Amino acid sequence: MKASRVAWLFLAPALLVLAVFFLLPVLVALALSFTDYDLYALADLHNLRFVALGNYWVLLHRPQFWAALGHTFYFVGMGVPLSLAASLGAALLLHSPLARCKAFFRTALFAPVVTTAVATAVVWRYLFNTKYGWANHLLGMFGIHPVDWLGDPHWAMPTIILFAVWKNFGYNMIILLAGLQAVPAELYEAACIDGASAWRQFRHITLPMLGPTLLMVAILTVSGYFQLFAEPYVMTEGGPLESTTSVLYLMYEDGFQWWNLGVATAEAFVLFLVMFAVTAAMLRLSRKAVA
Amino acid sequence: MNPRLAKALINGLLLGGAAVALFPLLWMLAVSFMPSGTSNALPPPLWPAHPVLDNYRQLFGHAGMGRYLLNSLLISGAITLLSLVFNLLAGYAFAKLCFTGREQLFRMLLGLLVVPAQVAMLPLFLMFKYAGLVDTYVGVVLPGTASVLGIFLVRQYARGLPDELLEAARIDGAGELHIFVRIVLPLLRPVVATLAILTFLTAWNDFMWPLIELTGQGHYTLPLGLASMAREHTEGTEQMMAGSVLTVVPVLALFLAMQRHYLDGLLLGSVKG
């Protein structure tokens, strides 16, 4: 009896914080998404009305929302495979017994991860400046015409994807490197004796042994990339022509520029459901692939 | 493949990768020392011909970055300290103290990880608005003072502590708080360091919640100040780079100093499957 009271006292501060500042707001968010909470309700709560699924219905018929969802999927669909490929490539290089100065390379490749996204996004804005940026200068050396990276609706999102890959690949690189180091060396020795080529060793030993780690890393990256916000906020302000407006960016604008908090919370929940569905589907597909 | 060729290829690729990873950071540092307006030239200069500190001086003088720097330190420091205490207590309780429903409660906590934090932000803002906490240090710090991942990290580590040690202390009549402070905490030192640096970096780099919560410039953190300067397009390239250096260097230095603890935490946090 006394022991369990002590336990609850130890738990109390953390549980209280999580309950009051996370669980409760999530439940309130669900309730808010069924109301027309807007500027009038903010001024006087008596103006608040229950609209049931009205906000969700409105979202389904709003081209702007579908566009934002599309941009977010574009970012996730392109950004996650590129990030994972870069992470896996870097991890394989670092894992190679032929690599020199491993500690230095690991730190250098990881450095962008710990930097502040807002600050490095500002740096990239200047590196991808149409006139004075290094990106166009380098392309110019190969005779390629300057690209209006952040001003052209076709190029703005790819530029943000490139930034995200640069910023994030080091994180998964570390996890995959640990996964590679956990693969028993005997497997490779045996394969070597059987005369398996480097590619076949990668295909039939490394990838299967790394499978669970890759899946976990992929799921975490997907849910992280769905939360795209700071990059367009700093680099493009959602533009040009709203081509980089993500769901969260739209939510932020609807919520804090137009004070349509009912609609904005509905957007947050749709994003949550989409993320849940996508990660659940990834888990199912991978189970099927194994079975 | 010829082993010497393979070796050259692998190290060449690593060198190229490191160059791509570091170039934007080094360029940022170089431009921050260039006199105003000189970086916008063709070909774009890589090195300040006449390095100056004007950009930094102006940032602290006019742009109020000194205030943002202090805010960032204060907010990240407070979040780190409080969340260390709360997460350590809770993580230890989940690992070593007995109470009914322990495993179920812990699984419920892990379930919270599925919900993206942004879902809670709009109502949290409203709650704080009615409580008079919008645009306050308390409001920006409080939601960060406990985290499921932090509790998970401590629990993972604390489960490895020997039960006999705790039992022996209990038989000697030591109180639970005494045991926690005198016996458990010293043994948890590695995870304390890991958690401290992970939390501090996350808090320092955090953007969306401070952006929503801190509506006045007086409470701005460095990322907020920098983002607002970037969107107003009023400062020159060199000054923006100085601002970026000021934002990035503290966390980069902290990471370099405590790299092992940081990477340990990253790996420990990723084995939850």
ipTM comes to 0.93
pLDDT band at residue A46 under the 50/70/90 scheme: confident
Burial of B42 (0-12, 13-18, 19+ CB in 10 A): exposed
- Residue A226: its chain B contacts at CB < 8 A? 116
Residue of B nearest to A95 (CA): B10
> What is the pLDDT, as a whole number, of residue B161?
92
The mean pLDDT value for A78-96 works out to 96
Percent of chain B with pLDDT over 70: 98
> What is the pLDDT, as a whole number, of residue A49?
87
pLDDT band at residue A177 under the 50/70/90 scheme: very high
Cross-chain CB nearest to B247 (options A3, A116, A132): A116
Please state which of the ranges A11-20, B43-52, B87-96, B154-163 shows the lowest mean pLDDT.
Answer: B43-52
- Residue B112: its chain A contacts at CB < 8 A? 18, 22-23
The mean pLDDT value for B211-237 works out to 91
- Residue B266: its chain A contacts at CB < 8 A? 171, 174-175
> What is the pLDDT, as a whole number, of residue A291?
61
Cross-chain CB nearest to A21 (options B142, B241, B244): B142
> What is the pLDDT, as a whole number, of residue A3?
76
Percent of chain A with pLDDT over 70: 99
Percent of chain B with pLDDT over 90: 77
Name the DSSP class of A146: P
The mean pLDDT value for A170-194 works out to 91
> What is the pLDDT, as a whole number, of residue B188?
94
- The pLDDT mean for chain B works out to 92
Residue B169 structure tokens = 């202390």
* Subunit contact B145:A17, Cβ cutoff 8 A: yes
Residue A50, number of CB atoms within 10 A of its CB: 9
Q: Are B238 and B34 in contact (CB under 8 A)?
A: yes
Please state which of the ranges A2-6, A254-258, B25-29, B172-176 shows the lowest mean pLDDT.
Answer: A2-6
pLDDT band at residue A42 under the 50/70/90 scheme: confident
Residue of B nearest to A114 (CA): B252
- Residue B243: its chain A contacts at CB < 8 A? 119, 122
At B208-222, the pLDDT tens digits run 999 999 998 999 999
> What is the pLDDT, as a whole number, of residue B270?
66
Cis peptide before B186 (omega within 30 of 0): no
- The pLDDT mean for chain A works out to 93
What H or E segment, with its residue span, contains residue A92? helix A63-95
Please state which of the ranges A194-198, B102-106, B210-214 shows the lowest mean pLDDT.
Answer: A194-198
Name the residue among B30, B65, B60 with its Cα closest to residue B45.
B30
CA A41 to chain centre: 33
The mean pLDDT value for A150-154 works out to 94
Mutate to test the interface with B, among A76, A118, A165, A251 (most CBs of B within 10 A): A118
Residue of A nearest to B198 (CA): A114
The mean pLDDT value for A118-132 works out to 93
Mutate to test the interface with A, among B28, B110, B122 (most CBs of A within 10 A): B122
Q: Are A187 and A196 in contact (CB under 8 A)?
A: no
CA A271 to chain centre: 13
Residue of A nearest to B199 (CA): A114
Checking if the pLDDT of B271 tops 80, the result is no
Cross-chain CB nearest to A14 (options B86, B142, B252): B86
- Residue A94: its chain B contacts at CB < 8 A? 14
Classify the C-alpha dihedral B97-B98-B100-B106 as positive or negative.
Answer: positive
> What is the pLDDT, as a whole number, of residue A222?
96
Quote the minimal CA–CA distance from A42 to chain B in Å: 9
Distance between CA atoms of B144 and B75, rounded to whole angstroms?
10
The mean pLDDT value for B154-166 works out to 92
* Subunit contact A29:B93, Cβ cutoff 8 A: no
Percent of chain A with pLDDT over 90: 77
At B20-42, the pLDDT tens digits run 999 999 999 999 999 988 888 88
Give the Cα-Cα-Cα angle B217, B218, B220 (nearest 5 degrees): 60
> What is the pLDDT, as a whole number, of residue A71?
97
Checking if the pLDDT of A1 tops 50, the result is no
At A109-120, the pLDDT tens digits run 999 999 999 999
- Residue B151: its chain A contacts at CB < 8 A? 14
The mean pLDDT value for A82-87 works out to 97
* Subunit contact A18:B112, Cβ cutoff 8 A: yes
* Subunit contact A122:B230, Cβ cutoff 8 A: yes
pLDDT band at residue B273 under the 50/70/90 scheme: very low
At A234-282, the pLDDT tens digits run 999 998 999 999 999 999 999 999 999 999 999 999 999 999 999 999 9
The mean pLDDT value for B221-229 works out to 95
